[in-house]
Amino acid sequence: MGVEVTIEGLTKSFGRQNIWEDLTLTLPAGEVSVMLGPSGTGKTVFLKSLVGLLKPERGRVLVDGVDMVNSPTKDIFEARKKFGLMFQDGALFGSMNLFDNIAFPLREHTKKKESEIRDIVMERMEIVGLLGSEGKLPGEISGGMRKRAGLARALVLDPEIILVDEPDSGLDPVRTSYISQLMIDLNAQIDATMLIVTHNLEIISTVPDNMGMLYRRRLVTFGPRELLLTSADPAVAQFLSGSRAGPIGMAEEKDAATIAMETRNGLSAHTNKPRPLVPQLDPTPGMPPRMAVLRRKKRVSGMLHTLPPAARQAIEATLTPSEAGYPPGAPTQQLPGVPAHGPAPAAPAAHHGHPGHPGQGGNPGGQWT
Ligand SMILES: Nc1ncnc2c1ncn2[C@@H]1O[C@H](COP(=O)(O)OP(=O)(O)OP(=O)(O)O)[C@@H](O)[C@H]1O
């Protein structure tokens, strides 16, 4: 099973440009998480920081006891072997055929015999549906095939954590559906911890167990998928409805005068309604069941009372009363400073990073939205 990844107080700048600060969240072991955010909010920088390819100035990323930010280089290098990375374009070597591209990490990092390498490569190519294309060059195949080849290469070292950067970029809606299904099937087969960066609304609504969003150099929130999918936060609601109305502008956040003018012209963020929740994808028939689903049910049922009513109801609808641990509709726990029918409470600071706790965003306002 995959390992959990605990991120504490992570802050990254390039020179005077602060990309994000104080990111605190935990990727639950073996579950699929998605990180959203408008273009340029530093999602790729975040992925690279998790694996130690970029060095944040502050904070920690803990993977099996190794801090991927502050540990000695040799420890980071060793821990990096737990990760499989799939970058946007597959990052394949143009002069190597797919077999050699996918075999590359095995030849580079292990002493396996060629016969063993062949078995592993062919098995991973089968998982991503590329059997028969071993001899093709990256330039001879479609963008979707290149992505799947990049994914196969990310899988050859049996990663416990898989980071995937925009698996849908450049793909048509049909191929995106296949990629969505592939992510779920992959999780069912290898039970790895997965983090996907995407803007794609289909992937967002059908794939992840958990979701977070980066915006204005902060983590708006991170928690069960239902928390974001039902969120009334203006930036989250705008992003998930793909609307022009709201605080997110073309190149940057809008100022108050622009929002007021848009509202006068009928472009109001109040029209951004949460999209109807659709069921999460199941593994393809014949695949093993996804153990993450069972683990997550247990985890989220323990945090239901801390969630806003809409998120809680959406989760309850997927649980039996005994799984929920109390009758549906029981009152949300009221904590100091939180209105009875308002947003559910933020995480106590002491719980930073606990996988069973929803309070893993920067959530500077101190409330779930
Ligand atoms: N090595 C680097 N040196 C300097 N600035 C960088 C570097 N890498 C990224 N940046 C800057 O960090 C910011 C965030 O980039 P990043 O690619 O992480 O955004 P993103 O959220 O993944 O965007 P998109 O959704 O468009 O892919 C950008 O302004 C980018 O120019």
Domain chopping of the chain, boundaries: 5-215, 232-273
Is the CB of residue 49 below 6 angstroms from any atom belonging to ligand 1? no
Topology of domain 5-215, CATH: Rossmann fold (3.40.50)
Which ligand 1 atom sits closest to the C-alpha of 37? Answer: 21
Give the model confidence (pLDDT) of 244-301 as tens digits: 767 777 666 656 666 666 666 666 666 666 667 888 999 999 989 999 999 999 999 8
Higher pLDDT, 272 or 62: 62
User: Atom 26 of ligand 1 has which residue's CA nearest to it?
Assistant: 39
The DSSP bridge pattern shows strands 210-215 and 218-224 to be antiparallel
Lowest mean pLDDT among 68-82, 188-202, 333-347: 333-347
Amino acid at 177: S
C-alpha 37 to ligand 1 mean position (Å) = 12
> Please, is 81 exposed, middle or buried when counting C-beta atoms within 10 Å of its C-beta (0-12, 13-18, 19+)?
middle
147-204 tens-digit pLDDT: 889 888 988 888 999 999 988 877 788 878 888 998 999 899 899 999 999 988 889 9
- Which residues, 6+ apart, have CB-to-CB distance to 206 below 8 Å? 180, 278, 279, 280, 281
Write down the mean pLDDT value for the chain. Answer: 82
